[in-house]
Structure 1
């Protein structure tokens, strides 16, 4: 009997012990809510409110400037000579990038609108274009447009480079525009139509301005990615930064020194553009 009483008393005490073990304060549970992790294959635009990103950008930019300046100033042979040759390709790089980003935005706008269109045919055409272009590497598209289509349409180096970059990045830009439009609540379109606006007016004055704010960071990342991918135009004999460096290597065989200067020049330009895009985004949000 005593054994049974002991067993029963220990059994009755188990729920209280379990409660003590598994009970966790509510505040501790709320503090441990997992945060979402955002991933992107583009360049992270520095935000003034993000101290880690801004400090990382500032340190990286300072190191790049100090290293590039030290090599050019204190080691004129061969680094200053390399820099003076490589920097001559910067205008071509910027020209290709700016023209291509304008073309990509134009193509991406129509692709994004087609992706959200109620017409099944237009929607399907936009989807096929996006999937088709994203499945082919940019270098293959560039070579195909320059060598294959160049025979039919007499496309020159600059035109081929701009066309290839515009067509390739236009597919990605279309997905960005589509996501930006779908991020706007549908009730705003319905409210605008209820106030007497047509669908075109509602889109132009209500939806599109808000979409620009949503997609601007992604467009900035695509612009910076395009600047880096513009180095591929050196394969079709355009005298960009990389092409100038390769020509210098063919004359002097200083591959390590030349590629170091080319990499630092691209790094400085990319960091500057990422900061400018971040400032533009902050100003746009500040002005409403």
Structure 2
């Protein structure tokens, strides 16, 4: 990543990704877009026990949707479920224990789920930023296994079932950090050079955006989108980027602010009026002439 690109991204972040950026963008939101009854619709949220995933699950449950929480830790998942049910008064919240870094677990879960459940909306939110190179039991670099491969396997396995329902959608929570990365398919396992967890994470998020574009072109029956939640104050940011969190804490968005665009893409009629496959920041796709170069140039 060049110094110039990094500087441009950080300045953009300070202006648009912080709490003040959210408040400025929120003036143009249409609250009526989220005034929906989701009874009868089924939503799957990965990484739903905390942070943006939990806030998203909460908003869906409040509107009557059936929520399937995909989590790795059973204790934290059950606690989060109880809180969501208590606040939403919606009992249709279900926990599934799946390690998204395990290709085998993800595939087997998706196959079993498809046989027994309907799914209208998949929200790929789970992610990790491991700052030291670490391999899973399957021999895969952990960031790639969780962020890219887990997302790919889960989505691919659920697509056939989603084509059988009305208005199916897939939303993938990416990151503005991917704007600093040119897609690199020659080092998916981060084996070359010095390992940098932040750059590996950003590369994974770039991969998610490209996957979203490819899925959209291949599966016209489903509406795909990826998005950037802004810089939000979540447990993941606190643990993975402690220095950034300490410096930026007062400027970071709340978890609910970070989930706002996810919920809009998942539930509103306005969202599917946009073309499938786009990357969103707020309710607008990031494709203006002065920004698109970040996505597609070196």
- Please indicate the TM-score interval, normalised by the length of the shorter structure: under 0.3
Determine which structure has the larger helix proportion and give its number: 1
Determine which structure has the larger strand proportion and give its number: 2
Larger Cα-atom Rg: 1
Q: TM-score normalised to the size of structure 1?
A: 0.27
Higher relative contact order, structure no. (Cα contacts within 8 Å, ≥ 6 residues apart): 1
